[in-house]
Chain A
Amino acid sequence: AQTVTQSQPEMSVQEAETVTLSCTYDTSENNYYLFWYKQPPSRQMILVIRQEAYKQQNATENRFSVNFQKAAKSFSLKISDSQLGDTAMYFCAFIPDNAGNMLTFGGGTRLMVKP
């Protein structure tokens, strides 16, 4: 069974600064995918970024980037130039390559961006 752990229940950052959210996971699989989802106060879950385990290059989407350390089973999310609209719950999620679309989620990190 896979587990995903987010050790930071809450974080805050000043507007325009950079923040890193941590995520670790446990699996015996070699091929898998990792995701960060954002849940703003509206509750709508939105995909932020994804990483395929077989790719060594870290994924980047505009102000969002990941630091994927496969050996350490670590998958952190860096948000640069934080904006007020980044205030949300952030969930790390994992899925093995052969598991359809059944995601395993971490417990979430609540991020508050302060003006």
Chain B
Amino acid sequence: NAGVTQTPKFQVLKTGQSMTLQCAQDMNHEYMSWYRQDPGMGLRLIHYSVGAGITDQGEVPNGYNVSRSTTEDFPLRLLSAAPSQTSVYFCASSHGTSVTGELFFGEGSRLTVL
């Protein structure tokens, strides 16, 4: 079972560059989300989607865009990277929007912006 797959696992960018973090899940989950993890701050929600064609902002959405054209994929785009976006990014998915008790996480993508 692949579960939630994130690519790339590591990336170094220069300030102002753009990139896309890819996230794919093969569990037919309706709900997908992106979190960023920073030391001492836990994980903070960036954007989420409750189904194909539907996205919404989380706690820290500025500087990030998302789209959900298919159930399987939920890419996160940085249009103009800033050093403040240096972080570890996690994609997560779950079945439906009701609380099932478990989010399934990808392995994370470490992004460094110089």
Interface residues of A (CB under 8 A from B): 4, 6, 9, 33, 35, 42-45, 47, 50, 91, 93, 95, 97, 100-108
Instruction: Find B101's partner among A42, A50, A108 (CB 8 Å cutoff).
Output: A50
User: How far, in angstroms, from A90 to B58 measured CA to CA in the complex?
Assistant: 22
Q: Which of B40, B44, B92, B101 contacts A33 (CB 8 A)?
A: B101
Answer yes or no: B45 CB below 8 A from chain A CBs. Answer: yes
Residues 45 to 101 of chain B near chain A (Cβ within 8 Å): 45, 48, 50, 58, 88, 90, 92, 94, 97-101
Interface size class of B (residues with CB under 8 A): 20 to 34
Contacts of B97 in A (CB 8 A): 100-101
Q: With contacts A35-B101, A45-B105, A47-B103 known, is A102 near B88, CB below 8 A?
A: no
- Give the shortest distance, in Å, between A44 (CB) and chain B (any CB): 6
Q: Which residues of A contact B100 (CB under 8 A)?
A: 101
C-alpha spacing A22/B8, complex, angstroms: 34
